[in-house]
Chains A and B, each alone.
Chain A
């Protein structure tokens, strides 16, 4: 297990290298550059800008310069935000996204599993349909509709919470964005849990346990839960990655200084270094989360071996 983990961690480096290279090429291939503005800069100023940011040099040279900085932990200077280095920007945005994404995932897992289990045990009854109706709400309405509705109700009508912004992990500012993400994630977790539990309840050994007369909660908790959670855990991986690194709509609607918005704005501004720096971050997050998920498989199903 440990050697497996170590191998996976070491594999991060070549993965990173490939991703950075691909993104680097993508960025430079996309039309429009960081200094294309509504006001067209004169040829002289453009030349000055190219010189300042090494943009006039051949691509491979810029690439090597970048890699060199990367190896020293320096992600470079942002093209668009002249006063900040990419390291500073990324390090300020990461905790916000981790907090919001992390808390919502934790809550979504708990609530989703509970809803799914409850629905599965009352299969095809009114309760089942009702629970699934509630759980699926996050999947049936686009997030850019749910978000503003939440704001209208809780921030404007009831004035219980602020309508957006970030205040150093102040829970009042985290409540609504977390709620939105939880709604979205619960939809998937709930349905997968329900489907999975139904399947597991029909397996021979569970049937035996029922025939033996074991109490339902013992059956579920002690025997059924672990195998049920395997597909759930598969699903949690992508959801967690999404919630932490790609929560663009949430960050935009609630005005949060997170990574999702930073990447999208960076790409729109063709801020090469910022985007690459964020890509590095996202790759590391994706690799780590997927590794955790894979390790969880092994824990949930002792027969899974790497």
Chain B
């Protein structure tokens, strides 16, 4: 009955570790799909069943928004670049690229990149795909996320310029020029997104909205669409025209749309499912014991936090917000309450994000007694008496409930404040948060791409993702400065400083860094535990003989 409470944000995680993306003259690395280690015997039947968490909203790469749809987007389509299992950028449809100047990149497509119907993938396919994606008539939800990175992108989304003004141009059939609005050091990773990938124009023009149906869909990725029964299953078959098909081991991938986490695990237990979407709340310890070889867990670039309504009369005073943040024992929360491998966070940036350093509050290392004493002092100074009531809003889910009960009990036992926990349906919570009709609310964010700016969006003054309604103009100025710099070290310093500056205002309450525990059968190989964005393309996976 809890099947429709969206716990995970419907966010796409787009890009991997940014460490080597500055590729001024990227090497022509042979991109490998599933590298089967020496000595591993493959099973005869290479078929995988994996759960996608819910029925996808679309297969059209321009409109892909949810995590599930992005999984399919990466299996069906291939962008200029791809990210491998460890999150590193590798050549995709483009075999090499170079950066001509801070805002211009040239991508060279490989000659043997083909669509599933045998035709060659050309640069104009990418131009068509990108222009179609950015066109305001498409109304793509990610239009204003990726759009502003490209030249004229923001203006096109706002309707001020035509889509043809986009800074993506075909120099010839195999060469693509991408111009960005400002310096974007992580552009190659950005281009691995299905949103910014190629689309087969003839198919779209022939079938209209039905172009994504089985039998019509033409894709250039490692797989093609075999069958799609809505709410039942979606089946992919290996694409015989994929340029790297020798390295694709799986011949068939079935995606399930199961929302209920318990049902998901039951299907796993009965052998009908090889890879769950997540794990039910509180079950991590149990399943780790029951299925030690099947439990995989890794941290990803995401953060669980509580939003403070900075305009609320009680929370207007930064001392109150600081006090509430100080007394939460995040170690206890991570180890005992959620107990699924997540780690405490005392700042805005999760570990592993590129473009900024992790910086924690100085009191993070204090013993709890000292923190409580200081917090009590702050409350007194702010004039908040014990017995004051706090209002907490969350969407109904066991996970949120457990965390909320913990937070409430911390505030009660340590500061004497009582908390009214209001649980509500997901969309109602979203509306309350966006309208500022709350005092403290449960929130979470997973990176759209691997750069600090995706997290800074949460606290920037006029950002649409800022549910806290806070504003630190100095920090915003630093961020603006960073978006103009080409010096990566300087940029990192600026963004780190900006994050620290804003967080000293205590606009929100950081709690934990997202971990993604799931059950994956031990005979599924190629599942990397270093994947920071939870991008598990089926082309990296294979079935070991069992």
A–B direct touch in complex (beta carbons closer than 8 A)? yes
Bound state CA distance, A81 and B434, in angstroms? 24
Q: A83–B58 contact, CB under 8 A?
A: yes
For residue A48, give the distance in angstroms from its CB to the closest CB of chain B: 4
Contact across chains for B1 and A163 when beta carbons are under 8 A apart: no
Instruction: Sort chain B's interface into a size bin.
Output: 35 or more
Check A31/B431 contact, CB under 8 A, given A52-B137, A257-B229, A261-B3. yes
Residues of B within 8 A of A48 (CB): 136-139, 143, 159
A80 interface hit (Cβ, 8 Å): yes
Instruction: Tell me the minimal C-beta distance from B304 to chain A in angstroms.
Output: 13
Give per-residue flags for B451-466: 1 if the beta carbon is below 8 A from chain A beta carbons, else 0: 0000000000000110
Across-interface contacts of B10 in A (CB, < 8 A): 37-39
| One of B157, B233, B256, B425 near A45 (C-beta < 8 A) | B157
Asked if A268 meets B144 with Cβ closer than 8 Å, knowing A156-B270, A255-B258, the reply is no
* Contact, CB under 8 Å: A37 / B141: yes
Q: A83-B209, A84-B230 are in contact. Are A255 and B267 (CB under 8 A)?
A: yes
Distance between Cα atoms of A158 and B428 in the complex (Å): 42
Question: Are B140 and A38 touching (Cβ within 8 A)?
Answer: no
A88 to B140, CA, bound (A): 23
Q: Is B262 an interface residue (CB 8 A)?
A: yes
B143 touches A45 (CB 8 A): yes
Interface residues on A, range: 35 or more
Contact indicator A44/B266 (Cβ below 8 Å): no
* Contact with A44, one of B3, B6, B144, B269 (Cβ below 8 angstroms): B144
Within 8 A of A (CB), among B174-218: 209-210, 212-213
CA distance A112 to B465 in the complex (A): 56
| Any A CB within 8 A of the CB of B260 | yes
| Interface hits, B253-289 → A, CB 8 Å | 256, 258-260, 262-263, 266-267, 269-272
Mark B221-241 against chain A: 1 for CB-CB distance below 8 A, else 0: 000000001111100000000
Q: Beyond A32-B428, A44-B158, A45-B140, is A39–B267 a contact (Cβ under 8 Å)?
A: no
Tell me whether A165 and B272 are in contact (CB under 8 A): yes
Assess whether B230 is in contact with A89, with CB atoms less than 8 Å apart. yes
A268 touches B141 (CB 8 A): no
Indicate if the CB atoms of B231 and A31 lie closer than 8 Å. Answer: no
Q: What distance in Å separates the Cβ of B219 from its nearest Cβ neighbour in chain A?
A: 14
Q: Does B299 contact A (CB under 8 A)?
A: no
Question: Contacts A81-B57, A165-B272, A248-B1 known; A31 to B427 CB distance under 8 Å?
Answer: yes
**B-to-A contact residues, CB < 8 Å:** 1, 3-4, 6, 9-11, 55, 57-60, 63, 65, 136-141, 143-145, 157-159, 209-210, 212-213, 229-233, 256, 258-260, 262-263, 266-267, 269-272, 425-428, 430-431, 434, 444, 464-465, 467
27 contacts between A and B (CB under 8 A): A33-B427, A36-B430, A38-B9, A38-B11, A39-B65, A42-B143, A45-B144, A82-B60, A82-B63, A82-B209, A83-B59, A83-B209, A85-B209, A93-B230, A151-B266, A155-B269, A162-B270, A163-B270, A164-B267, A164-B272, A252-B259, A252-B260, A253-B260, A253-B262, A255-B263, A265-B259, A268-B4
Q: Across the A-B interface, give the 4 residue pairs with the lowest CB-CB distance, nearest first.
A: A32-B427, A257-B231, A163-B270, A48-B139
